[in-house]
Amino acid sequence: MRTSAVTGGGLMAAAIVVLMALSTPFPSLSLSCAAFSGFLIMFVYLKWGTGASLLCYIAASLLSLLFLPSREAAIEFIFLFGLYPMIKLRAERLPGTIACWACKMIYLNSIVVVTYFVARALIILPPELTDRLYLTLPVLNLTFVLYDIAFTRVIRIVTHRYQKFFLT
């Protein structure tokens, strides 16, 4: 791995931690901060490839768990938004739109279900939360589709506008 990939990934990891630190004084921004942090992982993936983006993801995950007082954004980043850019860009290489969307939706729903059962095993969840999960899952899937469409548009705009940066 080139030195520029390591330093660029390290700087992006630091930027991710700073971005997620914004959720400490503003707890309502935890989901947004984690989602925008995924965009930074996407930049690393597009510029330096899978290896640098995985190292950036791991470094940002560990640093956010160690240094952020509010771990909500860190957990959302670790389980959903941190790996999603790499999975998305790999899934879009699959032949056919149905296979691409199936891969993305399987990722989302498996993460949600695993997180739910882990939380249920570690914490006694009230029965109302179980009822809300069945109502929340379709809304979450729809929101995720909208996030994916926005993510795709951002990728197109950034790669078109800063084409020279990603090619060097």
Digit-coded pLDDT (tens) for 98-122: 999 999 999 999 988 887 777 777 7
Q: pTM for this structure? A: 0.83
Please tell me the predicted confidence (pLDDT) of residue 164: 73
Digit-coded pLDDT (tens) for 38-71: 889 988 888 888 888 999 999 999 999 999 888 8
**DSSP letters along the chain, please?**
--HHHHHHHHHHHHHHHHHHHTTTT-GGGHHHHHHHHHHHHHHHHHHH-HHHHHHHHHHHHHHHHHH-S--HHHHHIIIIITTHHHHHHHHTTSSSHHHHHHHHHHHHHHHHHHHHHHHHHHS---HHHHHHHHHHHHHHHHHHHHHHHHHHHHHHHHHHHTHHHHH-
Q: What is the mean pLDDT of residues 135-152?
A: 89
| Domain edges within the chain | 3-167
The CATH T-level fold of domain 3-167 is: Arp2/3 complex 21 kDa subunit ARPC3 (1.10.1760)
